C-alpha cells in the first residue's frame, strides 16, 4: 500500500516535488533580497521608473516566496528558512552593490531565466505525480515571468 500525505499524494513523490520547490524557494529568496538592494541603490536617469519597478518586483517575489513555502508545507515537508539554506541551494548569485539601471535589469532577466528553468523542471515532476496544486502555482509563475523577460528585454533595447 502506498503511503499518502494529507492531500492524498504519494509521500515519496511529494518529497521530490518539495525538493524542487525548496530549490526554487532558495533562489527566490536571493532574487528577492537583490531586488530590495536594487530598489534602494538605483541611480541615474531612470531612477524614478526603476525604483518603482524594482519595488513592484520585490513585492511580487515576496508573495511568491510565501506561496512556495506554504505549498511545501501542504505537501508535508519543511520549507528552507535560513539564509545558509538559501545560499547553499541557490543558483542565482547575490547581486551586490548594483546601482546602474542596465546592470540591474540584466540581473533581473538572468534571474528570471533561472527561475523559469527551475519552475519547468519542478513542473515535470509535479505532472508525473498529478499534483495539480503545484502545477497551477508554477504555471501562474511561468506565465508572468515569461512576460517580464520579454518586457525587460524590450526596455534594454531603448
- Decide if 121 is inside a domain: yes
Quickly tell me which residue has 518586457 as its cell: 151
4 φ, ψ to 5°?
-105, 145
**From CA 120, how far away is CA 97, in angstroms rounded?**
30
Nearest Cα to 69, choosing from 138, 22, 17?
Answer: 22
Nearest Cα to 53, choosing from 158, 142, 157, 155?
Answer: 155
pLDDT for 18: 98
- Decide if 4 is inside a domain: no
The conformation of residue 44, written as its DSSP 8-state character, comes to S
Our count of domains for the chain comes to 1
- Decide if 99 is inside a domain: yes
- Decide if 1 is inside a domain: no
Per the structure, the complete domain to which residue 128 belongs is given by 11-156
pLDDT for 9: 95
Q: Tell me the three state secondary structure of residue 43.
A: strand
Confidence of residue 14 (pLDDT cuts 50, 70, 90): very high
Write the DSSP string, 67-93.
HHHHHHHHTT-----SHHHHHHH-SSP
- The domain spanning residue 134 has which CATH number? 1.20.1260.10
- Decide if 3 is inside a domain: no
- Decide if 92 is inside a domain: yes
- Decide if 89 is inside a domain: yes
**From CA 39, how far away is CA 117, in angstroms rounded?**
25
Decide: residue 124, CB within 10 A, 0-12 exposed, 13-18 middle, 19+ buried.
Answer: exposed
Tens digits of residue pLDDT in 78-114: 999 999 999 999 999 999 999 999 999 999 999 999 9
Tens digits of residue pLDDT in 35-89: 999 999 999 999 999 999 999 999 999 999 999 999 999 999 999 999 999 999 9
Amino acid at each position: 500500500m502506498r503511503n499518502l500525505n494529507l492531500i492524498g499524494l504519494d509521500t515519496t513523490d511529494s518529497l521530490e516535488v518539495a525538493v524542487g520547490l525548496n530549490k526554487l524557494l532558495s533562489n527566490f529568496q536571493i532574487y528577492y533580497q537583490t531586488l530590495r538592494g536594487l530598489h534602494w541603490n538605483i541611480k541615474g536617469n531612470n531612477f524614478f521608473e526603476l525604483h518603482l519597478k524594482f519595488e513592484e518586483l520585490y513585492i511580487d517575489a515576496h508573495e511568491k516566496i510565501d506561496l512556495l513555502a506554504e505549498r511545501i508545507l501542504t505537501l508535508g515537508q519543511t520549507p528552507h528558512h535560513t539564509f545558509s539554506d538559501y545560499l547553499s541551494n541557490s543558483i542565482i548569485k547575490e547581486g551586490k552593490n548594483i546601482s546602474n539601471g542596465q546592470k540591474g535589469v540584466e540581473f533581473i532577466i538572468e534571474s528570471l531565466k533561472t527561475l523559469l528553468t527551475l519552475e519547468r523542471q519542478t513542473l515535470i515532476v509535479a505532472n508525473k505525480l498529478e499534483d495539480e496544486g503545484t502545477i497551477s502555482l508554477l504555471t501562474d509563475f511561468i506565465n508572468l515571468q515569461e512576460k517580464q523577460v520579454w518586457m525587460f528585454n524590450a526596455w534594454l533595447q531603448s
